[in-house]
């Protein structure tokens, strides 16, 4: 049971690392040197920002 939780965490972390690299344009070493809390805060902030951008685009295309 615990092994599957660890495997799932590793998979999620790996996905998060590569997502952060893609979203920020940073290299692997730059991303890995970020403090853990800052890493997760950045992912949340960037995700919210992208969501807001999509919302604004949708509003402009529907309203225009």
d(CA 54, CA 64): 15
**Domain ranges (residues) in the chain:** 2-63
Q: Which of 35 and 2 is assigned the larger pLDDT?
A: 35
d(CA 20, CA 14): 10
For 8-59, write each residue's pLDDT tens digit: 999 999 999 999 999 899 999 999 999 999 999 999 999 999 999 999 999 9
**H-run or E-run covering 39:** helix 36-63
Q: pTM of this prediction?
A: 0.73
């Amino acid at each position: 049971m615990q092994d599957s939780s660890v495997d799932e965490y590793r998979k999620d972390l790996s996905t998060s690392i590569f997502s952060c690299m893609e979203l920020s344009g940073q290299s692997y070493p730059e991303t890995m040197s970020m403090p853990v809390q800052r890493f997760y805060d950045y992912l949340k902030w960037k995700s919210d920002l992208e969501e807001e951008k999509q919302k604004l685009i949708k509003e402009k295309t529907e309203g225009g």
